[in-house]
Amino acid sequence: MKILHLETSSKNCSVAISEGKKLLCLCEETSENYKQSELLHTFVKWAIEGAQISLKELDAVSLGAGPGSYTGLRIGASAAKGFCYGLNIPLIAVNSLETLAAPFLATDFDLVIPMADARRMEVYCSVYDGNNGQVITETEAKVLDETSFQELSDKKVLFAGDGARKAKEILQLPDATFNAGVLPSAQYLIGKAADKFEAQNFEDIAYFEPYYLKDFQGVKKK
């Protein structure tokens, strides 16, 4: 199977092409200005060329479905639906927090907590078993305070994602590890997307909506 992967839920605009569970090409760029609308289709073109295939060879499109940036998710979902309709191929959706957790599973951590910044002291997060990757706590929007995650103080915990920066400032967990430099990447959609393709676990393209988790809140420019 050849799959196009789109991940636009964060400041990282990321596109990948895979065959089976093998990465063929990855194009991505992180920008503080959220450049998905400018870069996404160019990156798709480059990824297709880099993988040395044509669009007509694609068997599916997988999308990092959120939670994350409202505008980024809208852009990614619109593009994914367009490719699926145009090529008559299925759509696969993967929770974007899984792409944050994936690089750190089966390592030395008891728990991996992917954490995406949701403004102020709020984050989107979930909890994964660091050994087998099982979901312990489902995705939620959580307002952080000094008592957050205190029940995990006896565990070896990794907080990963741009939300880990604010977590490090406020959480009272001296033995925890915080990696704020990692962002969701299309390359980590590959494994889950391949499994979903094999199971024929596809989305209804017409009615699919990204995983916003909470309503859009606009910010007025100063």
Q: Residue 122: which residues within 8 A CB-CB, separation 6 or more?
A: 141, 142, 143, 144
What pLDDT is stored for residue 107 in this prediction? 84
Longest dimension (CA), the chain: 52
Residue 32 pLDDT grade (very low, low, confident, very high; cuts 50, 70, 90)? confident
Residue 216 pLDDT grade (very low, low, confident, very high; cuts 50, 70, 90)? very low
pLDDT at 218 over 80: no
Mean pLDDT of the 137-144 span? 94
What pLDDT is stored for residue 165 in this prediction? 94
Q: Is the distance from CB of 17 to CB of 3 less than 8 angstroms?
A: yes
Residue 153 has a CB neighbour count (10 Å cut-off) of 13
Instruction: Kindly state the helix (H) or strand (E) to which residue 102 belongs, with its residue range.
Output: none
**Beta-bridge mates of residue 178:** 159
Mean pLDDT of the 41-65 span? 97
- Cis peptide leading into residue 90 (ω within 30°): no
What pLDDT is stored for residue 220 in this prediction? 52
Structure tokens at 99: 């792409």
In angstroms, the Cα distances linking 115 to 61, 162, 179 are 25, 7, 10
In sign, the C-alpha dihedral spanning 126, 71, 209, 215 is positive
Instruction: Kindly state the helix (H) or strand (E) to which residue 71 belongs, with its residue range.
Output: helix 70-87
Residue-wise DSSP of 134-177: -EEEEEEEEE--TTTTGGGTTS-EEEESTTHHHHHHH---TT-E
Instruction: Kindly state the helix (H) or strand (E) to which residue 204 belongs, with its residue range.
Output: none
Q: pLDDT tens digit string along 143-201?
A: 999 999 999 989 999 999 999 999 999 998 888 999 999 999 999 999 999 999 999 99
The three-state secondary structure class of 82 is helix
Q: How far apart are CA 142 and CA 42, in angstroms?
A: 35
What pLDDT is stored for residue 213 in this prediction? 78
Residue 24 has a CB neighbour count (10 Å cut-off) of 18
What pLDDT is stored for residue 214 in this prediction? 67
Q: Which domains does the chain have, with CATH numbers?
A: 2-96+184-198 (3.30.420.40), 97-179 (3.30.420.200)
